[in-house]
């Protein structure tokens, strides 16, 4: 039996030079490397764009329009319960699963969370009775196919909520009608106010408000009207046009006015309300314009190991079209990957276009080079990287003014990095954008300003140079140009 290069046979002297060469893999004995075959692209570039354009034009005529919806609101407003019940009413949750969730939640002593268990799938979420991460589901109404992003309401998980909102077209705001509960969510420190400002800052322009738990206030019309009258001016002030804002009274636990106003449970509500159900409102949400001709940009919101097809990443396409067989660059970094498989709504598809939430199975890349917050783009049209940039921001209701040199947390899609407001360039007029004052000393609440932001290093032990992040100007790509600024657990501003 012939011994290997690095294990000499007994009694034979060791050739140190051969050992060194062997350690460096330079002995000439090549080990066979298995290269995974990349599927060939089905369409030429022009043909692919034509195909995508046809499919988008067919939306609404031949098939349902696609929208993605982020569910927001204060902790315990009933967001997960509402969506769990809604999925059941629309036939997306079968009876067997419902009964299993009911039994499991009863056993855990959390019977009131049985509907929420359909979206809160992890042991910790079920044990604590709160949503911690974004749960992804889909459902269909008469004219819409809706991707649901169920966001956490607890302030500790705002970064996850921002990640979900940055992938959404529209928002469903769930408020608790119970006495004192709506006020707690809306007061300073409550998530109702902060979530509304966040989603608007991230480009969401349509909102449906579900006034939940009305059964706990005996279906009081005056309480419903009071909440609506309170929210309307706030939504307008936050940047939502009144024509893109809708309200619905609901009771998620009983399933009242989610899909139908029929039944005994809805009897009291029917005495004063005969308007659209929540499903009717969702059925009228309009998908935004999809820019398929823009350069491809896919910010990664999740990285995971697929069951059979290797490494998978998911995210929402912020422009362009991607197809199976495409080679993509991962930024920041020097790596490229090939697209082996694309899934949209859990179905395998040959391509995905701007505005879709897709899962891409990649090959020819190691998982260590893929991180949440990376952006996939074509090797011929890379997304710019920046460590210092200027931004136009609006300062929210803050107690402590922003000064030059202030430390902040910068949020961009699913990425959050430490940064500094390194320079206050000017205060701007909110309506016209004209400069009111150059080089201000501080920025106070409600101010619109132009500032310089510099990223800080993320590790104490590593290199002292900050890693750049993929950013584009707002005029080039709106989705890639939006940023949020947070400090000390609260959102202090947003901009582009």
Which domains are present in the chain? 1-33 (no CATH), 37-59+292-382 (2.40.30.10), 64-283 (3.40.50.300), 385-495 (2.40.30.10)
| DSSP H or E run through 55 | helix 45-58
Q: Answer yes or no: is pLDDT of 111 > 60.
A: no
- Mean pLDDT across the chain: 79
pLDDT of residue 102: 58
Q: Answer yes or no: is pLDDT of 108 > 60.
A: no
Q: Answer yes or no: is pLDDT of 34 > 60.
A: no
Q: Answer yes or no: is pLDDT of 160 > 90.
A: no
pLDDT of residue 134: 45
C-alpha 204/C-alpha 207 separation (Å) is: 8
* Mean pLDDT lowest among 1-10, 140-149, 291-300, 468-477: 1-10
Cis preceding-peptide flag for 378 (omega within 30 of 0): no
Contact 386, 402 (CB under 8 A): no
> What mean pLDDT is predicted for residues 439-449?
90
pLDDT band at 319 (very low <50, low <70, confident <90, very high): confident
* Mean pLDDT lowest among 19-28, 221-230, 267-276, 312-321: 19-28
Q: Answer yes or no: is pLDDT of 175 > 80.
A: yes
Q: Answer yes or no: is pLDDT of 122 > 50.
A: no
pLDDT band at 127 (very low <50, low <70, confident <90, very high): very low
* Mean pLDDT lowest among 27-41, 88-102, 225-239, 479-493: 27-41
Q: Answer yes or no: is pLDDT of 447 > 80.
A: yes
Range among 125-129, 149-153, 369-373 with highest mean pLDDT value: 369-373
Range among 100-104, 450-454, 472-476 with highest mean pLDDT value: 450-454
pLDDT band at 211 (very low <50, low <70, confident <90, very high): very high
According to DSSP, the residues that pair with 367 across neighbouring strands are none
Strand residues in 42-84 grouped as ranges (E):
65-72
pLDDT of residue 455: 93
* Mean pLDDT lowest among 68-77, 121-130, 211-220, 431-440: 121-130
Q: Answer yes or no: is pLDDT of 150 > 80.
A: no
> What mean pLDDT is predicted for residues 360-379?
90
pLDDT band at 61 (very low <50, low <70, confident <90, very high): low
pLDDT band at 9 (very low <50, low <70, confident <90, very high): low
pLDDT of residue 277: 92
Three-state SS sequence of 385-408 = EECEEEEEEEECCCCCCEECCEEE
Contact 152, 132 (CB under 8 A): yes
Q: Answer yes or no: is pLDDT of 32 > 50.
A: no
pLDDT band at 40 (very low <50, low <70, confident <90, very high): low
Identify which has the larger pLDDT, 210 or 141.
210
Q: Answer yes or no: is pLDDT of 324 > 70.
A: yes
C-alpha 328/C-alpha 330 separation (Å) is: 7
Identify which has the larger pLDDT, 301 or 461.
301
pLDDT band at 403 (very low <50, low <70, confident <90, very high): very high
Percent of the chain with pLDDT over 70: 76
pLDDT band at 384 (very low <50, low <70, confident <90, very high): very high
Backbone angles phi, psi at 155, to 5 degrees: -65, -20
> What mean pLDDT is predicted for residues 341-355?
86
How far is C-alpha 374 from the chain's CA centre? Answer: 14
Q: Answer yes or no: is pLDDT of 474 > 50.
A: yes
pTM above the 0.85 mark? no
pLDDT of residue 109: 47
Q: Answer yes or no: is pLDDT of 156 > 60.
A: no
- The greatest distance separating any two alpha carbons of the chain, rounded to the nearest whole angstrom, comes to 99
> What mean pLDDT is predicted for residues 129-141?
57
Q: Answer yes or no: is pLDDT of 452 > 90.
A: yes
> What mean pLDDT is predicted for residues 434-453?
91
> What mean pLDDT is predicted for residues 3-32?
57
Contact 248, 278 (CB under 8 A): yes
Enter the tokens of residue 71.
């569910």
* Burial of 302 per CB tally in 10 Å (0-12, 13-18, 19+): middle
Cis preceding-peptide flag for 332 (omega within 30 of 0): yes
Contact partners, residue 123, CB within 8 Å, separation at least 6: none
pLDDT of residue 133: 41
Contact 364, 391 (CB under 8 A): no
Residue 335: CB atoms within 10 Å: 17
């Amino acid at each position: 039996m012939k011994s290997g290069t690095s294990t000499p046979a007994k009694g034979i002297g060791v050739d140190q030079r051969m050992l060194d060469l062997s350690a460096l893999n330079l002995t000439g004995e090549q080990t066979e490397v298995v290269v995974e075959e990349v599927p060939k692209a089905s369409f030429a570039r022009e043909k692919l764009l034509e195909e995508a354009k046809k499919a988008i034009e067919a939306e609404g005529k031949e098939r349902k329009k696609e929208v993605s919806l982020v569910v927001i609101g204060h902790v315990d407003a009933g967001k997960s319960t509402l969506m769990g019940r809604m999925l059941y009413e629309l036939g997306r949750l079968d009876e067997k699963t419902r009964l299993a969730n009911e039994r499991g939640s009863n056993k855990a002593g959390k019977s009131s969370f049985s509907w929420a268990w359909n979206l809160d799938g992890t042991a910790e979420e079920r044990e604590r009775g709160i949503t911690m991460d974004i749960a992804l589901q889909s459902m269909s109404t008469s004219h819409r196919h809706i991707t649901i992003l169920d966001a956490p309401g607890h302030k500790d998980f705002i970064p996850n909520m921002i990640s979900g909102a940055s992938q959404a077209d529209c928002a469903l705001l769930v408020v608790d009608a119970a006495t004192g509960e709506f006020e707690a969510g809306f007061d300073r420190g409550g998530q109702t106010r902060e979530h509304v400002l966040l989603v608007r800052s991230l480009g969401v322009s349509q909102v449906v408000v579900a006034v939940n738990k009305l059964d706990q206030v005996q279906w009081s019309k005056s309480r419903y009207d009071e909440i609506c009258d309170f929210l309307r001016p706030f939504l307008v002030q936050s940047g939502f046009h009144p024509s893109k804002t809708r309200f619905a009274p609901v009771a998620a636990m009983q399933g009242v006015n989610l899909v139908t106003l029929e039944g005994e449970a809805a009897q009291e509500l029917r005495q004063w309300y005969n308007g659209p159900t929540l499903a009717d409102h969702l059925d009228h949400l309009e998908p935004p314009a999809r820019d398929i001709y823009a350069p491809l940009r896919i910010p990664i919101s999740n990285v995971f190991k697929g069951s059979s097809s290797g490494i998978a990443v998911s995210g929402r396409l912020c422009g362009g079209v991607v197809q199976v067989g495409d080679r993509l660059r991962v930024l920041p970094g020097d790596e490229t990957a090939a697209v082996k498989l694309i899934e949209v709504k859990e179905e395998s598809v040959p391509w995905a276009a701007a505005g879709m939430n897709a899962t891409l199975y990649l090959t020819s890349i190691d998982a260590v080079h893929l991180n949440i917050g990376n952006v996939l783009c074509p090797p011929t049209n890379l997304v710019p990287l920046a460590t210092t940039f200027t931004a136009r921001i609006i300062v929210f209701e803050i107690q402590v003014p922003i000064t030059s040199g202030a430390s902040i947390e910068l949020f961009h899609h699913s990425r959050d990095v430490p940064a500094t407001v390194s320079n206050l360039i000017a205060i701007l007029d909110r309506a016209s954008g004209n400069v009111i004052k150059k080089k201000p000393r501080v920025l106070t609440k409600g101010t619109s300003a132009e500032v310089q932001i510099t990223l800080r290093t993320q590790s104490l032990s590593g290199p002292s140079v900050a890693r750049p992040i993929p950013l584009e100007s707002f005029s080039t790509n709106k989705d890639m140009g939006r940023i949020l600024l947070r400090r000390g657990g609260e959102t202090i501003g947003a901009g582009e």
